[in-house]
């Protein structure tokens, strides 16, 4: 009887070459890249893919925004994005400054390759900007909206077409390792694989601890959003995304309305985040200073967690001490704009194929830098 029960348990176990924990854009894009070369299972804790940070993104591809490594990955993703039908649509990026923000304005506009423009041109782009406050402006066209749902579903469809299994409602409750590989317990059953990929967003250190792997010190920070009505009688669809210098706030057209963020970084424990009313109110006040139209009501609000490594650069690679444990973590809010190149790099490292990216970038992203 004992032997019979064992055979039933083995029959119920799903085996794969690679199990990916996390169904955000990082995990789903990697599943699509890996599936032609290996058997892949992706486990997502929630009912749907991209429930947490990926589902709450500002959805902008601005390849010159972020740390040097993020910029390299974003630029390396350009060919994919511009070749993917319907994924990008023109947006543009406008930065505005006021008295007292001159240094932040200069540093950030240079860093994102924005060209200074007359403030009158900024007022023509966004008629509600306050001429009594805005003292300088810079603009670039190299920013595009990302259809995040189309991108997520496209990668998921590609992964499934190559045999990957995507399992939702599969929160990992236990991880153990033996000579045959990794074994993961979930409400959807037990899964086992030779390689375990940790793409679990804000929970990456928690998953590492469950697997007996040393956490690297990732930190989740909350960022809130409010959706507000478009100014009365105005068509906002062609407005650029607008940044306040110092990233004190940003605003972006979205489905006939505007989304406004306080751009805060509030240290959080991993959880299903929600917006803080006071933080939203303070951020909306910073936005209102720059415009002539007051915010009279909110249509909706939400928040997401942006997770950073200790040096605020992504981590992509095999763990130094446990090489069959792979980190794909610390996207810090730039997961969508980097996912084509990041997922290809991760797939190359897992399968042992050479990467087209420079060795210096691979070293900058490697978890070995924390050893």
Claim to verify: residue 197 and residue 256 sit in the same structural domain: no
Tell me, yes or no, whether 164 lies in a domain: yes
Q: What are all long-range contacts of 104-110, with beta carbons under 8 Å and residues at least 24 apart?
A: 104/245, 104/246, 105/136, 105/138, 105/245, 105/246, 108/243, 108/245, 108/246, 108/247, 109/138, 109/245
* φ, ψ (nearest 5 deg) of residue 54: -65, -30
The span from the CA of 144 to the CA of 62, in Å, is: 7
Q: Is residue 130 part of a domain?
A: yes
Same domain, 240 and 304: yes
Instruction: Report the pLDDT value the prediction gives residue 57, as an integer from 0 to 100.
Output: 66
**pLDDT for residue 9:** 42
Whether residues 154 and 51 share a domain: the answer is yes
Q: Is residue 170 part of a domain?
A: yes
Look at residue 64 and tell me if it is in a domain.
no
Give the domain-ending residue among 308, 325, 348. Answer: 308
pLDDT of residue 1: 31
Q: Tell me: do 199 and 276 sit in the same domain.
A: no
Measured between alpha carbons, how far is 337 from 317 in angstroms, rounded to an integer? 19
Q: Are residues 193 and 124 in the same domain?
A: no
Rounded CA gap, 52 and 28, in Å? 13
Is 194 within a domain?
Answer: yes
- Helix (H) / strand (E) element for 140: namely strand 136-140
Range of the domain at 129: 93-140+219-308
CB 19 within 8 A of CB 330: no
First-to-final CA distance of the chain = 48
User: How confident is the model at residue 233, as a pLDDT?
Assistant: 85
- Please return the burial class of 130, using the count of CB atoms within 10 Å of its CB with bins 0-12, 13-18 and 19+: middle
Phi, psi (5° rounding) for residue 82? -75, -10
331 lies in some domain: yes
Q: Are residues 120 and 234 in the same domain?
A: yes
- The full length of the chain comes to 371
- Which of these three, 258, 278, 308, is where a domain ends? 308
Task: Note whether residue 235 is domain-resident.
Answer: yes
Which CATH number belongs to the domain containing residue 194 in this structure? 3.50.50.60
pTM, two decimals, is 0.93
Question: 297: domain CATH number?
Answer: 3.30.9.10
Instruction: Tell me: do 112 and 230 sit in the same domain.
Output: yes
Do residues 208 and 296 both lie within one domain?
no
301 and 366 assigned to the same domain = no
Same domain, 270 and 365: no
pLDDT for 8: 32
How many structural domains does the chain have?
A: 2
At residue 272, the pLDDT reads 87
Judge residue 90's burial from the number of C-beta atoms within 10 Å of its C-beta, 0-12 exposed, 13-18 middle, 19 or more buried: exposed
Same domain, 268 and 355: no
Helix residue spans in the chain (DSSP H)? 2-12, 25-34, 68-76, 78-83, 102-111, 119-125, 148-161, 204-210, 277-289, 335-351, 359-365
**φ and ψ at 183, to 5 degrees?**
-125, 125
Task: Give the distance between the most distant pair of CA atoms in the chain.
Answer: 83
Last residue of a domain, one of 287, 308, 329: 308
Q: Do 190 and 236 have their domain in common?
A: no
The reported pLDDT for the residue numbered 147 is 95
Q: Residue 117, class by beta-carbon neighbours within 10 Å (0-12 exposed, 13-18 middle, 19+ buried)?
A: middle
Q: Distance between CA 366 and CA 32 in Å, rounded?
A: 22
User: Mean pLDDT of successive 10-residue segments in the chain (371 residues)?
Assistant: 36 87 97 98 93 66 93 97 95 98 97 97 98 98 95 97 97 96 97 98 97 98 95 94 96 95 94 92 97 95 95 97 98 95 98 97 97 87
Inside any domain, residue 88: no
């Amino acid at each position: 009887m004992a032997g019979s029960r064992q055979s039933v348990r083995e029959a119920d176990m799903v085996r794969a070459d690679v199990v990916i924990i996390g169904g955000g854009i990082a995990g789903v894009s990697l599943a699509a890249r890996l599936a032609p070369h290996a058997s892949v299972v992706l486990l997502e804790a929630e009912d749907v893919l991209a429930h947490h940070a990926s589902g709450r993104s500002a959805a902008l591809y601005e390849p010159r925004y972020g740390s040097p490594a993020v910029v390299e990955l974003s630029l390396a993703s350009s060919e994919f994005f511009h070749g993917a039908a319907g994924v990008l649509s023109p947006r543009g990026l406008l930065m505005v400054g006021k008295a007292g923000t001159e240094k932040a304005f200069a540093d950030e506009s240079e860093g994102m390759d924005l060209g200074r423009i007359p403030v009158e041109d900024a007022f023509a782009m966004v008629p509600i900007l306050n001429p009594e406050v805005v003292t300088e402006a810079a603009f670039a066209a190299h920013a595009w909206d990302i259809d995040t749902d189309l991108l997520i579903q496209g990668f998921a469809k590609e992964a499934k077409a190559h045999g990957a299994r995507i399992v939702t409602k599969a929160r990992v409750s236990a991880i153990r390792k033996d000579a045959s590989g990794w074994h993961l317990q979930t409400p959807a059953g037990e899964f086992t694989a030779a390689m375990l990929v940790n793409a679990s967003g804000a929970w990456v250190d928690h998953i590492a601890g469950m697997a007996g792997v040393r956490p690297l010190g990732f930190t989740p920070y909350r960022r809130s959003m409010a959706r507000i009505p478009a100014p009365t009688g105005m068509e906002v669809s062609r407005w650029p995304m607008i940044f306040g210098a110092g990233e004190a706030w940003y605003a972006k057209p979205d489905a006939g309305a505007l989304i406004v963020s306080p751009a805060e970084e509030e240290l959080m424990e991993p959880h299903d985040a929600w917006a803080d009313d006071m933080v939203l109110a303070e951020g909306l006040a910073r936005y209102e200073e720059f415009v002539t139209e007051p915010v009279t009501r909110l249509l909706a609000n939400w928040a997401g967690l942006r997770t950073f490594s200790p040096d605020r650069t992504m981590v992509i690679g095999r763990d130094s001490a446990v090489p069959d444990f792979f980190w794909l973590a610390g996207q810090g809010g730039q997961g969508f704009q980097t996912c084509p190149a990041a997922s290809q790099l991760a797939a190359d490292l897992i399968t042992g194929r050479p990467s087209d990216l420079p060795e210096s970038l691979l070293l900058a992203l490697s978890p070995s830098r924390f050893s």
